[in-house]
Amino acid sequence: MHVDPFGHLRWHKALDAYVDGEFAGARREAVADHLKRCQWCSDQAELLLRVKESLTRRQVRLPSLVAARLRRWVPRLSDQPLGTSR
């Protein structure tokens, strides 16, 4: 399956806010509808959710440098197909 990440840029930017529950009403519905039709974006949303849940469950607070690196690294995951590594 060929995925054009530029075609998904609008949705890609919205996934983080969607996963965090920041959208309501029509905006939330629009993202949810897209995720039902787009496996690639759905996979990215699932990945973001799992990473955020994992970090939330941690008892120890991450050092700020580590947290900053993770915030920069997570969006890069969306730039590559799932199941591959850099």
- What is the pLDDT at residue 53? 84
CA–CA distance, 13 with 55 (Å, rounded to integer): 20
Q: What is the pLDDT of residue 32?
A: 93
Residue with the two structure tokens 């590594």: 85
3-state secondary structure of 73: helix
Residue with tokens 């509808």: 33
Q: Would you place residue 26 in the very low, low, confident or very high pLDDT band (cuts 50, 70, 90)?
A: very high
**pLDDT (tens digit, 9 = 90+) per residue, 32-73?**
999 999 888 899 899 988 888 887 776 666 667 777 777 777
The predicted pLDDT at position 1 comes to 47
pTM over 0.75: no
CA distance 79 to 86: 10
Q: CB 78: neighbour CB atoms within 10 A?
A: 20
